Amino acid sequence: MSNDTQPEIRFPGFTDDWEERKLKDIFDIHTDFVSNGSFQALKDNVKLYKTENYAYMIRLQDASNNWSGPWLYTDKQGFDFLSKSMVYKDDILMSDRGTIGKFFLVPQLDKPMTLSSNAVLLRSTKNDNNFIYYMLNTSNISNQIIVRTTPGVQPMISKTEFKKINTRIPNIQEQQKIGSFFKQLDNTIALHQRKLDLLKETKKGFLQKMFPKNGAKVPEVRFPGFTGDWEQRKLIDVANYRNGKAHEKDISKDGDYIVVNSKFVSTNGTVKKFSDSLIEPLIKGEIAFVLSDVPNGKAIARTFLVDKNEKYSLNQRIAGITPTDETDSYYLYILMNRHPYFLKFDNGVGQTNLSKKEVENFETFYPSFEEQQKIGRFFKTLDDAIALHQRKLDLLKETKKGFLQKMFV
């Protein structure tokens, strides 16, 4: 069990109590852009460039963008003038206003680095900065930051209040073990995130190439053996439409069916259950389709493919689309999802409400049933791979969260 002086989980060979410290005793560097001089001096000596130059001006947005740019630069004169806020690998950046207490660990970049405005630079030369970075991301530190934050239009925490925060740290050898462990875990998470992003980009590319573009009757990429033109049809010719019902009064935690509403479809599974003997459950292969959303929202025209009978029921403003025997469910599910035809009804002003007629009049090109099946199976394989990587990524993030709770005091 964890206590006030030792964490619940430790590496073998470490038994000493962790020592209490204030953050002012841990960080010997706690600085920002304006520590280099007056506003006028900074204006006279520091020139900023959006095109490549001598050094990076490191901003919180660069960290939030996964250190991928677009970058802001300064020249050699500006870099030398900003000597009090030079940035190095494994330094820690902090947001001290707005989104309080967000921390970033600086990687090795290919140019010299110095701090831009609206960020705080933290460095500990006596401790392992990797360990300190992960310690700052624990709930213990987060809770103390919340207490010491000054509320307002733009909440902030002062240097003085930040330095008063209490924590406990082990000796440098244990710090290095813990810091290295979490660094490797983050590298694994980043690897799975890149794989997931690559799969999503791959799917996006195939969506563009495996369906006909405007004015074309065939797609750019097809499976071998399929050569004929695709035929233009309306949705009413390839599927049956029905509307959902208002179930809000019937929702209960111990109900029998999952309510499919816009939130469920757009987030892939916010579950509500209800009991109602008069419902008409969705059938396997039926497509739930979102009809209403706020202006420029991300739920309108989202699709959800039903995987099992007697499991789901439609809420109001969700349509049920049942493909005919000559229409492949997965093909139609992929085809309808956020199709530009439906998005054109969103004028960015009032709430978008697609009508039954507008949905049934959706007209586009369809190949033979056999080619639809090929395309459907292809995208299902991609979607399954994306879902698998997403589950692995979510599990890794939960694992990290658990270790942060158990490996720090």
Q: Do residues 215 and 241 share a domain? A: no
Q: Do residues 310 and 334 share a domain? A: yes
* 55 occurs within a structural domain: yes
What percentage of the chain carries pLDDT values higher than 90?
Answer: 81
* 255 occurs within a structural domain: yes
Beta-strand pair 312-314/257-260: parallel
* 9 occurs within a structural domain: no
**What domain count does the chain have?**
3
Average pLDDT over residues 260-266: 89
**Average model confidence (pLDDT) across the chain:** 93
Q: Do residues 255 and 326 share a domain? A: yes
* 12 occurs within a structural domain: no
* 77 occurs within a structural domain: yes
Beta-strand pair 312-314/86-87: unpaired
Task: Report the run of H or E that residue 141 belongs to, with start and end.
Answer: helix 139-148
Q: 67 to each of 70, 72, 277, 286, 362, how far by Cα in Å?
A: 9, 12, 54, 43, 42
Q: Do residues 190 and 152 share a domain? A: no
Contact 314, 257 (CB under 8 A): no
Domain of 91, CATH number, reads 3.90.220.20
Q: Do residues 164 and 30 share a domain? A: yes
Q: Do residues 153 and 177 share a domain? A: no
Domain residues for the domain of 351 are 231-366
pLDDT higher than 90, residue 188: yes
pLDDT higher than 60, residue 2: no
* 59 occurs within a structural domain: yes
pLDDT higher than 80, residue 263: yes
> Over the stretch 23-70, which tens digit does the pLDDT of each residue have?
999 999 999 999 999 999 999 999 999 999 999 999 999 999 999 989
Q: Do residues 27 and 163 share a domain? A: yes
Domain of 381, CATH number, reads 1.10.287.1120
Average pLDDT over residues 106-133: 95
Average pLDDT over residues 383-396: 96
User: Rounded to a whole number, what is the largest CA-CA distance in the chain?
Assistant: 76
Query: Residue 84: CA atoms inside 13 Å, Cβ hemisphere, count?
Result: 11
pLDDT at position 1 is 42
pLDDT at position 256 is 83
Among the listed ranges 154-163, 272-281, 332-341, which one has the minimum average pLDDT value?
A: 272-281
Average pLDDT over residues 398-408: 96
How far apart CA 401 and CA 399 sit, in angstroms, is 5
Q: 134 to each of 15, 47, 90, 111, 181, how far by Cα in Å?
A: 21, 34, 12, 25, 10
Q: Do residues 185 and 290 share a domain? A: no
pLDDT at position 255 is 80
**3-state secondary structure string, 167-218?**
EEECCHHHHHHHHHHHHHHHHHHHHHHHHHHHHHHHHHHHHHHCCCCCCCCC
* 28 occurs within a structural domain: yes
Average pLDDT over residues 169-179: 98
Instruction: Determine the straight-line distance between the first and last CA of the chain, rounded to whole angstroms.
Output: 11
pLDDT higher than 90, residue 201: yes
Task: Report the run of H or E that residue 241 belongs to, with start and end.
Answer: strand 239-243
Q: Do residues 318 and 307 share a domain? A: yes
Q: Do residues 193 and 96 share a domain? A: no
Q: Model-level pTM? A: 0.86
pLDDT higher than 80, residue 270: no
pLDDT at position 276 is 67
Q: Do residues 161 and 212 share a domain? A: no
Long-range contacts of 276-279 (CB under 8 A, 24+ apart): 276/247, 276/250, 276/313, 279/245, 279/247, 279/313
Q: Which of 169, 186, 209 is the last residue of a domain?
A: 169
Q: Which of 143, 169, 195 is the last residue of a domain?
A: 169
pLDDT higher than 80, residue 253: no
Confidence bin at 277 (pLDDT 50/70/90)? low
Contact 382, 325 (CB under 8 A): no
pLDDT at position 345 is 95
* 8 occurs within a structural domain: no
How far apart CA 357 and CA 359 sit, in angstroms, is 5
Q: Do residues 40 and 158 share a domain? A: yes
